[in-house]
A and B are shown apart, each in its own frame.
Chain A
Amino acid sequence: MKMKELMRLQGICKVFDKGLDELVCLDDINLTIQEGEYVCILGPSGCGKSTLLKIIGGIEKPTLGSIVMDEEVFEDGIPKSHLKDFGFVFQQHNLLEWRTVQKNLRLNLEIFRLKGSVWEKRVEEMLEIVGLQDYANIYPHELSGGMKQRTGIARALVHDPKVLIMDQPFGALDAITRNMLSYEMLDIWKKTQKTMIMVTNSVEEALLVSSRILVMNKKGEFISKIVNDVPLKARDEKIAYNDRYNELRKKLDDIVHEIQE
């Protein structure tokens, strides 16, 4: 597969003001993301991985550091004109309760001012991709947790972003739904060929879906970058019997265990 650089983070730092103290959340993050990658970021809670995603997705600005995209250097976070390149999936579904499923998807089109039949059709296509085509006119409170999160994923995809950013997207779901959605995510990745960046706290989940895994420690530094070379063909219900999977899993478990101490 030919690799093309999509974005590069250079020396990203994030410091929060807390009265007199300054809380350093991210310290000198350097990261290059290739087009079509599925990057998973693993790390203990409070290590700043969510903040990193927010900086990548343009929700927060970095205190220091720059982002390079399409040979342009952004010193002050992602500018408004490039926000359309990103789709954000939140930890809790974060749907607007007063809008039906399809109108929740339309929200992005309305804000990005995308009009026309092409986009109308895209709403339907995205609902189909997450298997919710029959629920277009249902309100969020009538959906199950898994369906809400699926709607959230479809919404993040609807304006055709280059990158899908997911902040522990399955964290609020039960184990069975979580597992099912992981397989679906893998499927969506194959179908849409989008670049994915996902924060997770599950080693198994990361190994199932990703092409690269980054491990962050409590200080907000990457301590390990692993290429996940478990073949795509092997990533199904029997992935637990794959040798490479078990090898990587043991390695990652050890790393994660070390951070906790």
Chain B
Amino acid sequence: MKGNKKWLNIVSPVILLIVILVCWELYVAVSGIDARILPAPHVILSKLGERFMRDLSGDFLYTIQVILIGYCISIPSGILLAALCSQSKLVTKAITPVLILMVVIPMLTLVPILQLWYGYVMKVRIIVVICQAVPIICLNTLRGFTKVETAKRELFRSMGAGRFKTFVKLIFPNALPQVFVGLKLGCIFSTIAAMSADLAASNEGLGSRISVYSGMLMTDMAYGTIIVVALIGIVLFMIVAYIEKKVVIWIK
């Protein structure tokens, strides 16, 4: 029974996706809409397969680097920042609204300013990714660090555990489910931030490719690039979710 349901969890979204693609395909075929406005899915995929290695692989690697470097710096920074802030109730109260503000501000707005300082370098986009991912990781982790059951704190107090031991053996592992909420959102935010930074900075990266293709009315390739971006985000998310399942075994 249970195994059956698991199977359904995977199959049902796939079926939905196929239904959508078939409808799309049919609509394009029946309506005879211009391929420059809405290309059929099979055209997008075949064009993408044909031209990916030649036209897109460079930008693909560039964007992947921006996302991964930015995300990998954001993880320890966000958690460390949360760990420091959680030591004081006052600091936690002060920083929470600031973090929410930073989550809401689209960090691509930083691109023009940062380019004034650094010029057209990859660093600018990595900074954008970090600025977008750190707040969301920090916010969720902080929530985990500050919500510990009283009884568990009392258990540690009954043994006279110090601040450091309490953090390492209680507060951090106790917060892991919340930390992973932050990490999962963080990888999505990283992808979005890298994309928007590409769009704002242009000249390199998958995001700028999309605007170039649209400008040249190569709509099929624009869609194809969007698919590649989506795949990056999904794969990254799935990797984090997989690690979460291996680590947070006590929550089903």
Chain A interface residues toward B at CB < 8 A: 54, 57-59, 80, 83-84, 86, 88, 90-92, 94, 96-98, 107-108, 110-112, 139-141
Contact = CB atoms under 8 A, between A and B. Distances in A.
A58 B160 contact: yes
A83 B228 CA distance: 59
Contacts of A141: 250, 252
Interface of B: 149, 151-152, 154-161, 165, 169-170, 173-174, 176, 248-252
A27 to B, nearest CB: 23
A206 to B, nearest CB: 23
A216 to B, nearest CB: 20
B152 A111 contact: no
A106 to B, nearest CB: 10
A96 B250 CA distance: 10
Contacts of B158: 57-59, 83, 86, 88
Contacts of B173: 96, 98
A35 B106 CA distance: 66
Contact of A59 (B154, B169, B170): B154
A90 to B, nearest CB: 5
Nearest to A140: B250
Contacts of A57: 158
A83 B152 contact: no
A96 B169 CA distance: 9
Nearest to B159: A111
A86 B154 CA distance: 13
Given A139-B250, A140-B250, A83 B160 contact: yes
Contacts of B159: 83-84, 108, 111-112
